[in-house]
Structure 1
Amino acid sequence: MTDLELLTEAAREAGRIATMHFGGALDVVEKPGGAGPVTAADHAVNFALQEILCSARPHYGWLSEESPEDPTRRAAPRTFIVDPIDGTRSFIAGQKTWGHALAVVENGQVIAAAVYMPLRDELFASAVGEGATKNDLPIKVSRREGLEGAEVLATRPNLSPDFWPGGVPRMNAQSRPSLAYRLCAVAEGRFDATFTFRPAWEWDIAAGTLILTEAGAQVTDREGRALIFNNPAAQVNGLIAGPPRLHAALQAASAPRPLP
């Protein structure tokens, strides 16, 4: 079984477990430091994923939003980077826009990825050099080149004039609770680009980064640098993703400045 096959199998099992909890008693707890809510479903899915993935690949490292930090992950030949439920607030609210994001990283780069949205029955998957798929069908990013009228996925804080020295471009902006799903929606061409200028957790973006790249997108941090994963702090300096020319336009228009 390849890493990608393992990830897709595990993602579907995660969906089965999460949907069993969906709409029930969730035992919601707020994480310390304003890190957001976590539920019994997050923990159940995390436990199952670690059992499935680490039993199949015991020599791989493990990095998950819902697991204690394991510093040995950085010395492992490959590392799983997992968000058991991305879009927990959406899950709690009884909405559909939540899912599971799973990736395998080697030498700082994602080599296999799966994002599964159970209530939408959408499985996005990719391995290096093999393209990106949604439910086994190939997907590609849009052909948009310019900022004017671009359909983008971004939260309201990222549209603050503080991030756009020449003024906020005239783009059509929407958002979705799950960052992993935002990346996949751009990968399949439903939206033209997505960006976040604040530090992003690796488990939110690792899987989607490969899916986007294999779908033809340019994906970098907010300063235009290549993304490196399995960092000590498990964060990257924001993200800009879209078709190459649109990416370049976004990166130029949002020239880095200190965060407000």
Structure 2
Amino acid sequence: MPAPDLNLLISAAQEAGAIGMRHFGNAPQVWDKGGDAGPVSEADLEIDQMLQSKFQQARPDYGILSEETDDSTARLDTARQFIIDPIDGTRSFINHHENWATSLAIAQGGVITDAVVFLPAKNLFYAASRGQGATLNGEKISVNNRTALRGARFLASGSQTCRALWAQNPPPIERHFRSSLAYRLCLVAQGRFDGMLTLRRTWEWDVAAGHLICTEAGVKVTCQDGQEPRYNAPGACMNGMIAANPELHGQLMQYL
């Protein structure tokens, strides 16, 4: 019997973590991808090659969408798709910071069904299957129940507090930052932070796994227009993302 999809993702993330840690802090070769797409390291590419090979062998009928491989329209005609980011937070990785992750998810009909986010340098392994809850290192996690938006601790880049992005003024939140979008989402799912937001074009591979981990932990996740994120889109991109418990999510949306 083939292993369930989540078990396959867990195994792949562990292998990816081993490759990443072999390069971490050892001056891996780095290139600029151009077009404001940021850097890519030899570790990103080695992990991507391993994941592509492993997934194609295990699930040849699944499509694959990866940050580090040229996209193909063939995935649009498959029933299920792997959505992968070999290293989310490459800048942190190459600067010897620990906040980088391998983010792996499976989508079916535009919905994420299984997901893992692994930060090997911090020994944090988040996982979820639809309808089964979310875990951190095997223990159940859940969103916090804060109700006051003022002073709520949100993970966001500095540009997200620009007044031009909001109807009148930015919301009265306390901003924090982590370089990996996947990790930001997981920190909200874990209850360590109150929310996460990004109000710019967002790539599917950055948020697919974290989205399911959040929703399985009780977090409300939408695009900035309030719509449910959908995956395996032709452009692999969505209109930002906001994640928080339902009460804070509703309050924040009133500022947009």
Q: Structure 1 residue 234: deviation in Å?
A: 0.4
Q: Any idea what SS the aligned residue of 2:254 has?
A: helix
Aligned to 1:144: 146
TM-score by length of 1: 0.96
In structure 2, C-alpha distance between the alignment counterparts of 1:83 and 1:252, rounded to whole Å: 32
In structure 2, C-alpha distance between the alignment counterparts of 1:99 and 1:169, rounded to whole Å: 29
- Is residue 91 from structure 1 mapped to residue 126 from structure 2 by the alignment? no
Q: Structure 1 residue 145: deviation in Å?
A: 2.0
- Is residue 159 from structure 1 mapped to residue 192 from structure 2 by the alignment? no
In structure 2, C-alpha distance between the alignment counterparts of 1:162 and 1:192, rounded to whole Å: 23
TM-score by length of 2: 0.98
Provide, for residues 83-102 of structure 1, a one-character-per-residue CA deviation record: whole Å limited to 9, x for no partner. Answer: 00000000000010001000
2:26 aligned to which of 24, 41, 65: 24
In structure 1, C-alpha distance between the alignment counterparts of 2:228 and 2:172, rounded to whole Å: 27
Aligned to 1:72: 74
In structure 2, C-alpha distance between the alignment counterparts of 1:99 and 1:37, rounded to whole Å: 15
Aligned to 1:82: 84
CA contact (8 A) 2:83 2:205 kept: yes
In structure 2, C-alpha distance between the alignment counterparts of 1:115 and 1:41, rounded to whole Å: 17
Residue identity opposite 1:217 in structure 2: V
Provide, for residues 99-155 of structure 1, a one-character-per-residue CA deviation record: whole Å limited to 9, x for no partner. Answer: 100000000000000000001111000000000000010000110123111011010
Q: Structure 1 residue 247: deviation in Å?
A: 0.6
Aligned to 1:227: 229
2:255 aligned to which of 247, 250, 253: 253
In structure 2, C-alpha distance between the alignment counterparts of 1:160 and 1:68, rounded to whole Å: 33
Residue identity opposite 1:66 in structure 2: E
How much is the aligned-residue C-alpha RMSD, in angstroms?
0.8
How many residues align structurally? 254
Provide, for residues 209-259 of structure 1, a one-character-per-residue CA deviation record: whole Å limited to 9, x for no partner. Answer: 0000000011000010010000000000000101001111111112xxxxx
Residue identity opposite 2:245 in structure 1: P
Point out where structure 2 has 5 or more consecutive residues left out of the alignment: none
Q: Structure 1 residue 23: deviation in Å?
A: 1.5
Residue identity opposite 1:142 in structure 2: N
Q: Structure 1 residue 166: deviation in Å?
A: 2.9
- Percent identical pairs in the alignment equals 45
Runs of 4 or more above 4 Å deviation:
none
Q: Any idea what SS the aligned residue of 1:236 has?
A: strand
**1:107-146 mapped onto 2 (5 Å cutoff):** 107-146=109-148
**1:170-189 mapped onto 2 (5 Å cutoff):** 170-189=172-191
Q: Any idea what SS the aligned residue of 1:100 has?
A: strand
Q: Structure 1 residue 25: deviation in Å?
A: 3.3
Provide, for residues 11-37 of structure 1, a one-character-per-residue CA deviation record: whole Å limited to 9, x for no partner. Answer: 011000011011123211101211000
Residue identity opposite 1:160 in structure 2: C
Q: Any idea what SS the aligned residue of 2:225 has?
A: coil
